Amino acid sequence: MNKPRFLKKGDVILVVAVAVALLLFWGVSRFLYPPAENGVAEITVNGKPHGTYRLDKEVSFTVQDENGGYNRVEIKNGEVRIADADCPDRLCVRQGAISHKGETIVCLPHGLIITVCDGANGDVDFITG
């Protein structure tokens, strides 16, 4: 049996353990957030539907809230993210891009919620773009 020269037995176990952990994590996240089919981003502002946007089209637009605040939404490479916003915490911008079914981006100060959904479920009111 050829033992790897630069790896001690403990190192090998560690590497295997990390690999298994990553695989498990990946498997669980795939299970929790399966890729959306014909994914769309549903956007609501203060609980009211703002629009539904296909993730397979590149688009960016600005959502204004009632108090003059804005969130710039960007859809690119099948992912949606908030590219810019003038909310005080900017947590929505820091949440990064989402693309899996059930994932959300929330901007609390602006009452804006983006949810990734399947596009083929018939609940879609309209699709722009």
Residues that bind Zn ion in the complex, under the rule CB under 5 A: 85, 87, 92, 107
Nearest approach, Cβ of 84 to Zn ion (angstroms)? 10
Nearer to Zn ion, 29 or 104 (CB): 104
Nearest approach, Cβ of 78 to Zn ion (angstroms)? 22
Nearest approach, Cβ of 109 to Zn ion (angstroms)? 6
Residue 45 and residue 64: Cα distance in Å, rounded? 9
For 18, phi then psi, to 5°, come to -65, -40
Angle at 33 between CA 125 and CA 24, to 5 degrees: 175
Nearer to Zn ion, 48 or 94 (CB): 94
Nearer to Zn ion, 107 or 114 (CB): 107
Tally of CA atoms within 13 A in the half-sphere of 47 that contains its CB: 0
